[in-house]
Amino acid sequence: MEVRIISSLEKVFPNAPLSAKPYTSGSMLQNERYSFQAACYSKEPTEITAVLTVKADNAILPYLSVREVGMVPVTYPCPEDVDDNIISNQPGFYPDTLLPLKENRVLLKPEEWKTLWISIQGQPELPAGEYPILIELLNSDGISLGKGRFDLKVIPASLPEQSLFYTNWFHSDCLAVYYGVEVFSKEYWKLVEQYLKIAVRYGMNMLLTPLFTPPLDTEVGGERPTVQLIDVFKKGEQYLFGFTKLKHWVRLARQCGITYFEFSHLFTQWGAEFTPKIIAKENGELKRIFGWDVRADSPEYEHFLDQFLPALKDFIEEDGLDKFCFFHVSDEPSLEHLEQYRHAKSLIYRYMKDYPLIDAMSDYDFYETGAVKTPIVSTNHIAPFWKNNVPNLWAYYCCGQYQKVSNRYINLPSARNRILGYQLYKFHIKGFLQWGYNFWFSQYSKYPIDPYQCTDADGAFPAGDPFVVYPASSKSIEDDPVISLRLEVFYDALQDMRALKLAEQIIGREKMLAFLERDLPRAVTFESYPHDSDWILNTREMINRMIERNIGFLKS
């Protein structure tokens, strides 16, 4: 049997030749997470159930975990006009899930690769030093079938806190539907907590918060399950509001580690033409009072906002949220929607002018009108924004960013996922948004899908775009969700960005940027960057060595 130790940036297919070269040593700072893989190839003629053993110093063993890389179906890997920086444009089964091992047993099939994902979850108290980690597979008689070794160095320094605002849109309605629990039930809140803790563990510090059911990815005239946190009571022309659920949401999110809250859009997507679904109790009966059938510029909605927004502002101030909340008007407006957007914004701005107003939009001409002060720009349209030194610039990518730029579709090389950290650092990006943390519906939220069988919202988006976590396949809230390897690699990108900021304290930003581009034929942009894994891994190792040489300076 062959056990080949390789980097976390490789994707291994069971029946394909493995060209990845061995990667047997690396370094990490004390408080970061480090991962590598062990690709195992059985030459036996029959299936073998091997027992995994991991040998390492007792100082690091408690921080170490092993999961098995699982395969998922990819029906729609990418659009036809994708560039050539991909693994394949063909449907098939691709590596993505990181599955827990059962009793440390690994099923090995004849002449197939089975890959193990090994992670070291650092903590500030993790002792610095050099740690050999031995991965070995044994047969039922305890005889070694194969083994591999990775040498890990833990450097006595810590990554700084993440300064990037990062939100990956959290869809609590998908949790309720998949697990079959009632929204706002005890089980619902347990799921929200469970998935929020994972989101925070992987760098998310901002949470999409459904004041009303978010008017996102919803068919015109259709509805998503109601998850509105504001209780609304209508008495004639007067509205009263209850904030108990919102208060619980905020408190729970803070306990999980969330710092910032982006309140859901107060107008519909792609133009701000209509109102979000809002449920109110009137004469003792719950009914929908706003939605696709009510235009955004209706006097009724303006009257509603004139009562709701002051009440919300009071809640924000009383709950200490005033420095931690953001507002949305409408997602992805274009220049043709400018007047509608301006009107919608004015209804919010008259009460919330002291709070940041952020929206995804990628038209520089739209930005120049002044309608959005903090644009969230798609990475393939961001060049004119950073060239014109737009302040407080945010970035995003989703299904439309498949030519040249970084993304995390399942069919893309992991290096194309991780390079984003270097780009966010270079261009001083203040925030990053991605829409699909756990979108387990079809496009427009028409019906639920099984994420283990459908990775593309039923053919709507490139596989992997809608989500980066998988639910517990048992549908039991007692079982942990399953992480994708794409989420692990994306978090590595965030760690790279933090390491660059730490190294910047040593040599300054100008020299840090020059160092990044030291041997490259052209400057790094969002569309031009090294495609190979070696550049990312070697650059990070050089940064770590720079930090190690200057630990005294950093601590002084």
The pLDDT of residue 375? 96
**Per-residue confidence band for 47, with pLDDT thresholds at 50, 70 and 90:** very high
| Helix, strand, coil share (%) of the chain residues, nearest 5 | 30, 25, 45
Identity at 48, one-letter amino acid code: I
State the average pLDDT over residues 183-212: 98
pTM for this model (two decimals): 0.97
Environment class of 149 (CB within 10 Å of its CB; exposed 0-12, middle 13-18, buried 19+): middle
Q: Residue 553 — pLDDT band, cuts 50, 70, 90? A: confident
CB count in 10 Å sphere of residue 407:
24
**Amino acid 250: pLDDT:** 98
Beta-bridge mates of residue 261: 207, 325
pLDDT per position as a tens digit, 398-432: 999 999 999 999 999 999 999 999 999 999 999 99
Q: Which residues pair with 26 in a beta bridge?
A: 152
Indicate if the pLDDT at residue 353 is higher than 80.
yes
Residue 43 has pLDDT above 80, yes or no: yes
Domain with CATH 2.60.40.10 in the chain: 2-160+498-555
Domain with CATH 3.20.20 in the chain: 165-484
pLDDT beyond 90 at 135: yes
CB proximity list for 185: less than 8 A, separation 6 or greater:
none
What is the reported pLDDT for 555?
A: 80
CATH class given for the domain over 165-484: alpha beta
Residue 432: φ, ψ to 5° = -135, 140
Distance between CA atoms of residues 357 and 30, nearest Å: 37
Residues 238-253: what's their mean pLDDT? 98
Averaged pLDDT, 347-375: 95
Give the pLDDT score at 308.
98
In contact, 448 and 460? CB cutoff 8 Å: no
User: What would the mean pLDDT of 472-485 be, rounded to a whole number?
Assistant: 95
Region 340-365: mean pLDDT is 96
The topology (CATH level 3) of 2-160+498-555 is Immunoglobulin-like (2.60.40)
Tokens 């019906």 correspond to 447
Categorize the per-residue pLDDT at 533 as very low, low, confident or very high, splitting at 50, 70 and 90: very high
Band of the pLDDT at 105, cuts 50, 70, 90?
A: very high
**Cα 38 to Cα 365: distance, rounded to the nearest angstrom:** 50
Across residues 141-147, what is the average pLDDT?
94
Mean pLDDT, all residues of the chain: 97
* Half-sphere exposure at residue 463, Cβ-oriented, CA atoms within 13 angstroms: 28
Q: Tell me the backbone φ, ψ of residue 247, rounded to 5 degrees.
A: -65, -40
What gap in Å lies between CA 290 and CA 117, rounded to an integer?
48
Q: Report the share of the chain in percent with pLDDT over 90.
A: 97
Residues whose CB falls within 8 Å of the CB of residue 392, separated by 6 or more in sequence, listed in order = 373, 374, 430
For residue 230, the surrounding DSSP H or E stretch is: none
The torsion defined by the Cα of 224, 226, 229 and 232, in degrees rounded to 10, comes to 120
CA dist 393 → 7, 33, 373, 468 (Å): 32, 28, 9, 24
What is the model's pLDDT at position 241?
A: 98
The token duo for 417 is 């996922």
How far apart CA 67 and CA 62 sit, in angstroms, is 15
pLDDT at 556 over 80: no
